[in-house]
Amino acid sequence: MGAPEELPKLLNDCVHCGFCLPTCPTYVLWGEEMDSPRGRIHLMQQHQEGAPLSDAMVGHFDACLGCMACVTSCPSGVQYNRLIEMTRAEVEREHPRSAADRAIREMIFSLFPYPRRLRALRGPLRLYQRTGLDRLVRRSGVLERLSPSLAAMERLAPPLGKAPRLPGFVAARGERRATVGMLTGCVQREFFPGVNAATARVLAMEGCDVVIPKSQGCCGALSLHSGREDEARAFARRTIAAFERVEVVVVNAAGCGSSMKEYADLLADEPAWAGRAEALSARTRDLAEYLVELGPRAERRPLPVTVAYHDACHLAHAQGVRAQPRALLAGIPELTVREITDPGVCCGSAGTYNLLQPEAAAQLGDRKAANVRDTGAEVLVAANPGCSMQIADALGRQSGGKGVPMAVAHTAEVLDASLRGLGPEVFRARTS
């Protein structure tokens, strides 16, 4: 991801001005200097000068969400995203974690980056939900006592229905305008298959042949953002090979798209892959980004519903994609978009953060959910599966366990409903 000699230069870019402080979620929560980007950079500098990676120091690095709000706000152009990723890689190489922490991390990284393993989990999890055992387990509090991370994992799982499988190719409707490859993801593929189906339909209705390679797997986002560099590189190489023959790769999960756009940096030291990585990064587009570039062709039918749009951090801060999703939603007749207070503050999902730091994540989730509810919208629109699960969980808690009081949908699903002439009841049916 970066040579060790690069770290001092990147560290020296920080002038400790403090513009990052009000944008940092953990500083907003706790007001602690060492839990701000500026404070963490100070700790990184100490480590570079010979200070060992103590438990306390690593705790501050672990508490960072990697949301990149500080990168957006920094007037000096500090590449904090590079700094925290390189630092986390050093932590993984040098710092001995507790047995319990290692066990949780190995479970997470042995499961979530592998769609087939997630698929095998779907059946038992669906049965667990349909029998009501999930409510019984939550009321008992047994998982919380056993492991807060396991409890968060169980609680965040969305309601599972049938998971339709996409074919390897979806033909354009009408005259073909482009050929695109589509990343199906891991959690998106198995826990939110309706989002992928809607994405393929929207692209086809807009005149795209959609290629969905069967050889694709995890893009490496979770591994990259957690300092597991070798693992991330292996996933990246496989993804590059799967999509090299398409003009554009369209991604509907913010964290995945962000990581794929970083492949050039991730594989810069591998001569056989550096050029191929740079080429794929340049061809990667978020769904909203690509649809705005392509321009609308399919007829937008009225969809009388009020939505609140949530900015996923790895879409807004990492990719700079803010206006495009709003433009797509604004182009739907009779749809009203409402803004959420403090849109740049993370919801607490942040990849595996809500599993590894469940208490802090829950505080941020509650803060975000309260702001979402204040909009009075009927539907929350988000562009990342982790955000959807995180905010839905917080909304459910705030409703006193009586279900999620607001439907949660992806931008692709809202646009798909308009293009197909579906009414707002398609979203209202999601609340319980």
- Spell out the domain ranges in the chain: 6-94, 99-156, 169-292, 300-428
CA distance 35 to 39: 6
- Report the C-alpha gap between 26 and 32 in whole angstroms: 8
Residue type, 415: L
Residue 326's closest CA among 251, 373, 381?
381
Distances (CA, A) of 173 to 111, 201, 278, 291, 421: 37, 9, 31, 15, 16
Instruction: Report pLDDT for 9.
Output: 83
Q: How far, in whole angstroms, is CA 91 from its chain's centroid?
A: 23
Please state which architecture CATH assigns to domain 300-428. 3-Layer(aba) Sandwich (3.40)
Q: Are residues 69 and 364 in contact, defined by beta-carbon separation less than 8 angstroms? A: no
* CA–CA dist 131, 341 (Å, integer): 38
Q: Which two tokens stand for residue 161?
A: 């229905």
Secondary structure class of 382 (helix, strand, coil): strand
Hey, which CATH number is domain 169-292, 2.40.10, 2.40.50, 1.10.3470, 3.40.50?
3.40.50
Question: Is the pTM for the entire model greater than 0.85?
Answer: yes
- CATH number for the segment(s) 6-94: 1.10.1060.10
Instruction: Quote the pLDDT of residue 305.
Output: 95
d(CA 259, CA 345): 20
Cα atoms in the Cβ-side hemisphere of radius 13 Å centred on 234:
7
Q: What is the pLDDT of residue 162?
A: 80
Residue with tokens 């992928």: 196
Amino acid sitting at position 139: R
61 phi and psi angles, rounded to 5 deg: -65, -40
Domains 6-94 and 169-292 share a fold: no
Predicted pLDDT of residue 430: 62
Q: What pLDDT shows up at residue 372? A: 96
Residue with tokens 């996923």: 312
CA 356 – CA 85 distance, rounded (Å): 16
| Dist CA 101 CA 104 (whole Å) | 5
In DSSP terms, which residues pair with 220 in a beta bridge? none
Type of residue found at 149: S
| Residue 223 and residue 351 in contact, taking contact as beta carbons nearer than 8 Å | no
Q: What is the pLDDT of residue 257?
A: 96
Nearest to 161 by CA among 197, 136, 185, 137: 197
Q: Could you list the mean pLDDT of each consecutive 10-residue stretch along the chain, which spans 432 residues?
A: 68 90 94 95 93 94 95 93 92 92 93 92 91 90 90 90 88 95 95 95 97 95 92 96 95 96 94 96 97 96 97 95 97 97 94 93 95 94 95 87 79 97 81 54
